[in-house]
Amino acid sequence: MIVLLLGPPGSGKGTQGRRLSQRFHIPYLASGDLLRRAIEQDSLFGREVRQYIERGLYVPDKIMVPAAIEELNKLRREQGVRGAVLDGFPRTRDQAEALDSALTAEGTRVDRALLLNVPREVLIPRLAGRRVCRSCNASYHIDHKPPPADGRCEVCGGEVIQRVDDKPEMVDGRLTVYFERTLPLVAYYQQQGRLVQIDGNLSESDVTGSLVGAAEAVAAAAAQRAPAVASEGASRGAHA
């Protein structure tokens, strides 16, 4: 099962994506994490993409698509499954079409795009108060879930920071880019009957419940289509 989390910055894709990945035993690919890791490592790729991230702009498709598809394949190979939770990739229509062709070639596809709807006026304070662990990307919020007083992540001990692109002067621009460039993807998946809309303005656990419900429906439909593959996945404890 391959599910894509769609939604504006601050809609909870990271938190929810990790939960879905654990729940269904499939890898979690967050394109933003992939890019930030490359920047941390100061790789050639990291140096190339840094200029875009720091200005709140999308990394061009011709750089983003091969990197994301390579990472997706690597994660699935490592875990020995065909499924994945995608967060932040694809983010443009061209990216979605490129991913569709790659997946069609191997006989899979994005089963569902799960859109987290959160009003803009809620997103701005969520992003402005967000703090993240530099190492494991665990997410905090200065009001609702403050990071430990020593500034160290409670999960891994890494440094908790504010992302450059979460600074108040960047947030508005990022939201505008999302509404212009990513919203057309919603229509793309809707036309193909692959979109599920989720109210993302509820408690984290309620949002998780809705997402798990939607993903279980996908897994059940896949099991009906291909009982042999599904039972093989179930015996490994995975909806792969």
Q: For ligand AMP, which is the closer residue by CB, 113 or 222? A: 113
Minimum Å gap between C-beta 140 and ligand AMP is: 15
Name every residue whose Cβ is closer than 8 Å to that of residue 56 and which is 6 or more positions away in sequence: 165, 170, 173, 174, 177
State the minimum distance, in angstroms, from the CB of residue 129 to ligand AMP: 15
91 is catalytic: yes
Binding mask 76-115 for ligand AMP (x = CB under 6 A): ------------xx-x---x--------------------
Closest CB 96 distance from ligand AMP, rounded Å? 10
- Name the phi and psi angles at 139, rounded to 5: -110, 140
| Tokens read off for 34 | 């992939």
In the residue annotation, 13 being an active-site residue is answered as yes
Give the burial class of 124: count Cβ atoms within 10 A of its Cβ; 0-12 exposed, 13-18 middle, 19 or more buried.
middle
- Mapped onto helix, strand or coil, the DSSP state of residue 94 is helix
Nearer to ligand AMP, 61 or 216 (CB): 61
Q: Is 152 a catalytic residue?
A: no
CB of 20 closer than 8 Å to CB of 85: yes
Residue 52 binds to ligand AMP (criterion: CB under 6 A) = yes
The residues, ordered by sequence, that sit 6+ positions from 70 with a Cβ below 8 Å of its Cβ are: none
Active-site position among 19, 36, 126, 174: 174
Candidate list 37, 163, 181, 194, residue with the active-site label: 163
Given 1, 26, 53, 222, the residue binding ligand AMP (CB under 6 A)? 53
Let me know: does 130 contact 162? Beta carbons within 8 Å. yes
CA distance 198 to 170: 26
- Kindly write out the interface string for residues 174-193 of this chain, putting x where it contacts ligand AMP by CB under 6 A and - elsewhere: x-------------------
CB of 100 to ligand AMP, least distance (A): 14
Under rule CB under 6 A, residue 165 binds ligand AMP: yes
Contact 6, 115 (CB under 8 A): yes
Would you call 166 exposed, middle or buried from its count of C-beta atoms within 10 A (0-12, 13-18, 19+)? buried
163 belongs to the catalytic site: yes
Catalytic residue list contains 130:
yes
Catalog residues that contact ligand AMP under the rule CB under 6 A.
9, 31-32, 35, 52-53, 56-59, 64, 88-89, 91, 95, 165, 174
Catalytic site residues? 13, 91, 130, 163, 174
